Structure 1
């Protein structure tokens, strides 16, 4: 299996970072999927990554463009609309890869595209900031992806890995992607939410013991729920999250903080919101995340 055509739906910071490299490699065999005014804006204005302009091809939902791989980088609350936007472009052999935050997006996509291979995925160490059509990305982010379990890589996973390697996109395939997804979710629940309520950059969070303590307490609640759900996040997962936090650029901002600053809807329902639901199913208390959830929802209502 070889991937020749790739499309991305979601022209936010993450989508644009990877679009730049895929567009460079594939040229007209790469495209953004967008409709209406969003399509017009992308075509007319193009995009800038670290000051360099690029103008990727843009296709609409009804165009004759059948990608071998579709990468989904929208926000969770945009996912149902994205499914409608891509359904006519998904062929029998199209692989779908989600890079959405949280732990539910892959299952939602698989329910919509039962006959397609839908991969788990996430982007880590991506400190991209998007203002208008200009994206700043100071470091080299990593895509972690795969089927649920990857002791031996499937033909589809290997094909995606090959195209990422050709595009010089850092990538890793983990044996247990479920635990990997939960680990990133734990990081998001701690760091993203605390940064959003404190309006603090990575550097401010790391240099403020009270904020770091809040991050850790929120993440400890995820650890507790993971055990009840049979995911069993462990000390190794905890340490990997601490390593990521320590490596982040001090001037960077979480995506949730960027949403709050721009008075946009956040993904809090897919962070602490989902955690609270799972905790209640198992009779577990998650008081820190209940406070974070209510605080962020209040912020949204008072924009």
Structure 2
């Protein structure tokens, strides 16, 4: 199976590297700066699950000719999605599977509009990675989960073939029969965690220590889940209580990636996470004042810092 990984960054580089390590046919679609890095240093992965070094690997740049791939792994930020769609279009065929790992849900509509309902799978990942000074991928926690599946939940011939390609790696690739629910659950959790930590400019510990801080966590969960349920999202019963408990159990100094991006004065996914929810809330005539405050906070940051 021919696999195209869009980007060789912290997520694509890690999971693409694990597939290469197993012996799969992997090509990375990269920009010029990253290509130069890879040509100089190779793809280097420092991981608690074992380091990897690939002095040479297959790369292409947007516009270069290549046959259609069997599957394209997409792990870009939401604000790069439009460009990524243009970049990968020449490398898709009628049977190419698009497997996105973006957080949220809005990207699914964009991808199905671009490539067709049948060609887009569901996917998500749980991993802590970053890039080092020379572009090395640094993976630091025990969790390195890659979850994928047909959005219908079916075990089709093609998804079983993909499962076979992903099996036997030193990362936790898992086929889900309920990927849409898992994607919505992660969206709910990430929106809550990133929302409150960015609003309070604090790790989660000091926020939940405060009565009104913990109440804010619960209120974001309530507002977001109400919107999602009115959209007929397949949320499990009691998911709000389960996620409050998960947040209570998180490390005291845990920050969201959105908060870390703000601290570095980098671009953020305000519209993808919170703008999407607020647009849906308006259509559904639902109030979401805390989510509105989170979104306003992020838009002020964008205006003043970017």
Is TM-score (shorter-chain normalized) higher than 0.5?
Answer: yes
**Distance in 2 separating the partners of 1:240 and 1:25:** 36
Q: Which piece of structure 1 moves more, 74-83 or 238-247?
A: 238-247
Maintained 8 Å contact 2:8/2:28? yes
Structure 2 unaligned residues grouped into runs of 5+: none
**Distance in 1 separating the partners of 2:179 and 2:66:** 33
**For residue 292 of structure 1, what is the aligned residue in structure 2?**
294
**Distance in 2 separating the partners of 1:54 and 1:185:** 33
**Distance in 1 separating the partners of 2:72 and 2:283:** 34
Alpha-carbon spacing, 1:246–1:94, altered in 2? closer, same or farther (3 Å): farther
Maintained 8 Å contact 1:92/1:115? no
**For residue 164 of structure 2, what is the aligned residue in structure 1?**
162
Maintained 8 Å contact 2:218/2:244? no
Structure 1 unaligned residues grouped into runs of 5+: none
Alpha-carbon spacing, 1:48–1:201, altered in 2? closer, same or farther (3 Å): farther
Alpha-carbon spacing, 1:227–1:142, altered in 2? closer, same or farther (3 Å): same
**Distance in 1 separating the partners of 2:237 and 2:175:** 20
How many aligned positions are there? 297
* Aligned partner (choices 75, 78, 85) of residue 77 of structure 2: 75
**Distance in 2 separating the partners of 1:130 and 1:209:** 36
Structure-1-length-normalised TM-score: 0.86
**For residue 58 of structure 1, what is the aligned residue in structure 2?**
59
Tell me how far 1:163 sits from its aligned partner.
Answer: 2.1
Tell me how far 1:257 sits from its aligned partner.
Answer: 1.8
Tell me how far 1:232 sits from its aligned partner.
Answer: 5.3
**Distance in 2 separating the partners of 1:247 and 1:7:** 37
**Distance in 2 separating the partners of 1:273 and 1:59:** 34
**Distance in 1 separating the partners of 2:265 and 2:242:** 31
Does residue 265 in structure 1 map to residue 267 in structure 2? Answer: yes
Structure-2-length-normalised TM-score: 0.86
Does residue 107 in structure 1 map to residue 109 in structure 2? Answer: yes
Partner secondary structure for residue 267 of structure 2: coil
Alpha-carbon spacing, 1:203–1:183, altered in 2? closer, same or farther (3 Å): same
RMSD between superposed Cα atoms in Å: 2.6
Alpha-carbon spacing, 1:239–1:12, altered in 2? closer, same or farther (3 Å): farther
Does residue 141 in structure 1 map to residue 144 in structure 2? Answer: yes
